[in-house]
Amino acid sequence: MDHSLTSIFTANQSDPEVSQSMRDIASLAGVLKDLGSQDAFQSPGEILRFLRIIQLINEEALGLDEPIENEETVFYRYKNKFNDESPPSKKRVEQVIRILINNNWMSKQSKQLKMRDLGKRMMDMLIRLANDSLAYYKHDDIGRSLFQARRDAELSEAYDDKGISGGNKIASIIRNVENAIQLMKERELEMLADRNALPQLELIHGLMEDLDIKLKERFRQFQTMEESLVLSSLMQKGTAVLAEGTNLSVGMISKFLKFTHMQETPLSSNIQPEKVRDFITKMFAPPLDSDVPNAHQLLSFMEQNQYEDEAMDGLWIPVKFASPLSPIAIEEGIHYLETYEPIEASMEEDEEELIYSTELISEEDVDELMNQANWLMMKEMIETEKIEKYIEKQEEAPIEQVVIEATSVNWSDAINAMTAISALVGNKKISIMNGKKGAKVPVYDREWEWMKDADRAKVIRKRTTNKSAE
């Protein structure tokens, strides 16, 4: 891999291939939008039926089944192949195929329905997405993160090795392993207390070892690439994460096996205090790959009630007893508590002097502020932005030209435009005056007429305030 990966994020936006690929995504969005607009396709069952229909079409395109003549062929093949208590009706099948044809996934010929290349790729993608999701949800919380990490490694092999960007899959592998390790730490007590957790722990450890091999293989693939410098930090991080996860899974398996066989271990009548002291010391901070349990893990096994009355109601907590005190020390302590008085510092309050100031405003400024407030309130009720933008560009134009070009030829838009013009005139933003004699006024094909034909020749002009004139 001595060349850069093909990625939509590094390609030139003006390339025709980029535009075509974005049109493919738009067609996928169009199919999903058309399906989502139907209430029947909101339920998971109907979505599964849609996937079954496109699978039948996909099998025909791959040559695994006979050609599809029409919608009825798909309907009867569905009933014969899938065990569905409520299969889709002929109308529903026709509706799905019509959506696929409208979005260029299929073409309807005189004697059969054919799948286009676009439909083939989009259908494959949807079916793979559904299968990946099904495999993902078959695992528990920890297994899901590890499954997704292994899936990322497989996708990296399928895409990155072929020169196509898979989307930062190495970083995704590392992050999913980190999430799995965090969940393992949170659920360690739960797994150790579960007598049937050994297969799950072995599966987790197997996934860790598999990911270690795959991640090292990914790093070897990228050693000759320009991105190797960028990947150096990921290599270090990934190696550390997998080492931590492998040690944690090995330690959990060791602890589980030791606790499981603890009942069968013969007890010695000779107690060696040094070994007991050493065991208690190691319980405070055991290493990840150690089979020495900490205090929480040890007490959690007592809740399994393997011995009579072992699982008592309540909470296991460590208790620290105070050392023996002499009567004099107790008497002094009681006297101190009885005669204790907290030291209170005197509080000095600083009174802030209030300073009053007078602000004067002229009558013209008051009128201007009131007019501005009235104008803002009016703009909330009347849409004047289109007329304002048009006048800002033209500065002067016939009223009919302003009404039609700023909005449209529809009668409703003309009414709204005239209302906006009235508001602008009333607030002295524009002025209306008679046009010059002989001036040509553009003629438009409109749905409405002026009450007075001479009004169409009047001219709208933008007004300037005194401040702007100054």
Nearest to 146 by CA among 214, 198, 193: 214
> What's the Cα-to-Cα distance from 388 to each of 301, 378, 444, 456, 460, rounded to whole Å?
77, 14, 21, 19, 11
Q: Give the mean pLDDT of 191-195.
A: 69
Question: For residue 314, what pLDDT is reported?
Answer: 58
Single pTM value for the model: 0.50
Nearest to 49 by CA among 30, 75, 27, 70: 75
Most confident of the following: 334-338, 374-378, 403-407: 334-338
CA–CA dist 126, 82 (Å, integer):
19
The answer to whether 442 and 401 are in contact (CB under 8 A) is yes
What residue ranges in 49-183 does DSSP mark as E strands? 106-108, 113-115
Question: For residue 264, what pLDDT is reported?
Answer: 62
Which of 104-113, 148-157, 175-184, 285-294 comes out lowest in average pLDDT?
285-294
Q: How are beta strands 430-433 and 396-398 bridged, if at all?
A: unpaired
Residue 189: which pLDDT band, with cuts at 50, 70 and 90? Answer: confident
Residue 201: which pLDDT band, with cuts at 50, 70 and 90? Answer: confident
pLDDT tens sequence across 85-111:
888 888 888 888 888 888 888 888 878
Structure tokens at 311: 């699982």
Looking from the CA of 232 toward its CB, the CA atoms found within 13 Å total 5
Question: For residue 467, what pLDDT is reported?
Answer: 44
CA–CA dist 177, 184 (Å, integer):
10
Q: Give the mean pLDDT of 147-170.
A: 72
The answer to whether 435 and 398 are in contact (CB under 8 A) is yes
Average pLDDT, the chain: 76
What residue ranges in 242-300 does DSSP mark as E strands? none
Residue 106 dihedral angles phi and psi, to the nearest 5°: -135, 160
Q: Give the mean pLDDT of 389-404.
A: 83
The answer to whether 153 and 208 are in contact (CB under 8 A) is no
Structure tokens at 182: 């965090």
Residue 413: which pLDDT band, with cuts at 50, 70 and 90? Answer: confident
Measured in Å, how far apart are the chain's first and last C-alpha atoms?
Answer: 69
Structure tokens at 365: 């400024």
Structure tokens at 27: 């067609």
What region, left, alpha or beta, does residue 51 occupy, with left being phi > 0 and alpha being psi -120 to 50 degrees?
A: alpha
Question: For residue 316, what pLDDT is reported?
Answer: 56
Question: For residue 267, what pLDDT is reported?
Answer: 58
The answer to whether 51 and 127 are in contact (CB under 8 A) is yes
Which of 56-65, 181-190, 305-314, 336-345 comes out lowest in average pLDDT?
305-314
Which of 290-299, 315-324, 414-423, 428-437 comes out lowest in average pLDDT?
315-324
| pLDDT over threshold 50, residue 1 | no
Question: For residue 468, what pLDDT is reported?
Answer: 40
Q: Give the mean pLDDT of 188-195.
A: 71
pLDDT tens sequence across 204-249:
777 777 777 777 776 676 655 555 555 667 777 777 887 888 787 7
Distant-in-sequence, close-in-space partners of 299: CB < 8 Å, separation ≥ 6:
316
pLDDT tens sequence across 417-453:
888 888 888 777 888 888 777 677 777 887 788 888 7
Buried b (16+ CB within 10 A) or exposed e, 377-390: eebeebebebbbeb
pLDDT tens sequence across 21-75:
888 888 888 888 877 766 656 678 888 888 888 888 888 887 788 888 888 888 8
> What is the largest distance, in Å, between two alpha-carbon atoms of the chain?
124
Question: For residue 301, what pLDDT is reported?
Answer: 63
Which of 111-120, 258-267, 330-339, 353-362 comes out lowest in average pLDDT?
258-267
CA–CA dist 115, 174 (Å, integer):
39
Question: For residue 414, what pLDDT is reported?
Answer: 82
Nearest to 124 by CA among 233, 15, 24, 3: 24
Exposed / middle / buried, residue 75 (Cβ in 10 Å: 0-12, 13-18, 19+): buried
Nearest to 171 by CA among 130, 128, 222: 222
The answer to whether 150 and 208 are in contact (CB under 8 A) is no
